[in-house]
Amino acid sequence: MKTELPAPIDGFFQAHNSGSTENLLDLFASDAVVADENHEYRGEAIRAWLDDAIAKFRPLQAEVTRVEAVDGRTVAVAQVSGAFPGSPVELRYRFTLRDGKIAALNIGP
């Protein structure tokens, strides 16, 4: 299913699925924070976090199945598959956008 996503969110999933994270930080605000699996990542640590996940769970793929607006955030629901137990799983990527950039991202069930 093709789901229309705001440009920075679409760019995030392109980097996620292609493994090409070179320009990933251009999508994030300078003070952005990512929360995933009880850890927070800021700045360059955001790219390192995604690079590590891609390498560890290769091939790591997220297929967005629907998009919802919830409490001022854009929630992309995705089927995520890779080399991890229980694959695939449905995860919610909760994005807060500000000035055309990702200001916050929280990932979980």
Q: What is the CATH number of domain 7-108?
A: 3.10.450.50
Question: What CA–CA distance (Å, rounded) separates 106 from 74?
Answer: 11
Strand bridging mode 28-36 / 101-108? parallel
DSSP-assigned letter for residue 84: S
pTM of the model: 0.92
Give 93: exposed, middle or buried? Use CB within 10 Å, 0-12, 13-18, 19+: buried
Please list the pLDDT of the chain residue by residue as tens digits (109 residues): 456 899 999 999 999 999 999 999 999 999 999 999 999 999 999 999 999 999 999 888 999 999 999 999 999 999 999 999 999 999 999 999 999 999 999 999 9
